[in-house]
Amino acid sequence: MIADKDTNKSMTTTARGRWGETLAAAHFKTLGYTLVARNWRHQKFEIDLIVCTDDQWVFVEVKTRKKGYFECALEAVDLGKQERIIKAAHQYILRQSNGTKAVRFDILCVEYGHTDWRIQHIPDAFISLP
């Protein structure tokens, strides 16, 4: 949790994003998922978090925004961003040898205020057609 109102001001955008990803990873852990990768890259494509269960891969886009900017976070995951995430997920899956799993794409937004934060999790936020 953010200790005081000055903490957010002193964090760089990158540090704030990493902080949000850490909270997102902890959120998925409490839901029983295993963290497989963080900031996984293939060429110019990146996936913030890859988590899984025994039968499902979940590719997660994490957005960290000030409270009241949840809609802006969702708008930032436009069709172009979705396509890049899907392409990266496809490359990740091609490299796996542990059988076939279902695939899901989630968006997780960490909204923060001066002294608190909350998680908005949207499972199945978008789909990939074959």
Phi, psi of 42 (to 5 degrees): -135, 115
pLDDT-derived band of residue 9, with 50, 70 and 90 as boundaries? Answer: low
Residues belonging to the chain: 130
Q: Structure pTM?
A: 0.86
- How many distinct structural domains can be found in the chain? 1
Direct distance between the N- and C-terminal alpha carbons of the chain, in angstroms, rounded to an integer: 40
Candidates 88, 91, 82, 90; CA nearest to 122 is 82
Amino acid (1-letter code) at residue 56:
Q
CATH code of the domain in which 43 resides: 3.40.1350.10
- What SS3 class is residue 80? helix
User: Helix or strand or coil: residue 34?
Assistant: strand
What residues make up the domain containing 45?
5-126
- pLDDT of 20 above 50: yes
- Could you tell me the two tokens for 64? 């960290």
The least confident of 17-26, 83-92, 114-123 is 114-123
pLDDT at site 2: 42
Under 8 Å between Cβ of 27 and 119: yes
Which H or E run includes 4?
Answer: none
Q: 121: phi > 0 → left, psi -120 to 50 → alpha, else beta; which?
A: beta
For residue 104, list its beta bridge partners.
Answer: 58
Per-residue pLDDT reduced to its tens digit, 95-114: 887 667 899 999 999 988 88
Residue 3 has pLDDT above 50, yes or no: no
85 pLDDT above the threshold of 60: yes
